[in-house]
Amino acid sequence: MLLLLPRQQHVLEALNACIAACEIQTVEGLDYPDTKRSVRLSRDCADLCRLAAAFVLRRAEHTQHILRECAELCRLCADESTQFSYETFRKCTDTCRRAEDACRTAFVRSAQLV
C-alpha cells in the first residue's frame, strides 16, 4: 500500500475534485453557446489535473513542473468560469481555485525540500 504524506493527499483530493467539476462543466457548457472558451479550458484543466495526480502518486521526478503548470491552468479555468452565473460554472471556479492553491503550495514545499 502506498503511503502518502498529508500534503500529497491534500493535493490529490483537490485535483480529483477539480477533475470532476471540470468534466461536468465541459458537458453542461456545451448547452450554452457563449461558453466555448470556458468549455475548452475546463477540458484542458481536467486533463492536466489527471496528469498531475498521476505524477504526485508515483512521486515522479518532474512533479513540481507539472504542478506549476497545473496551478496556472486551474487559475485560467477559474478566471474564465467566473464570467458565468451557472451553478456548474461556480462549482468549477471554486474547485479550480482550491486545486490551484494546493498545487502552488505543494510546489513551493517540494521546491524548498530540494
Write the DSSP symbol of residue 61.
Answer: T
Overall pTM surpassing 0.85 (yes/no): yes
Q: How far is CA 94 from CA 46, 80, 90, 99, in A?
A: 14, 12, 6, 9
Work out the pLDDT band at 28, boundaries 50, 70, 90.
Answer: very high
CB-based contact 44:19 (threshold 8 Å): no
11-25, pLDDT tens digit by residue?
A: 999 999 999 999 999
Alpha helix locations (H) across 30-62?
A: 36-57
Beta strands in 1-114 (DSSP E): none
pLDDT at 112: 47
39-77, pLDDT tens digit by residue?
A: 999 999 999 999 999 999 999 999 999 999 999 999 999
C-alpha span between 48 and 6 (Å, rounded): 22
Contacts 24+ apart (CB under 8 A), 34-37: 34/84, 35/84, 35/89, 37/80
Q: Which amino acid is at 6?
A: P
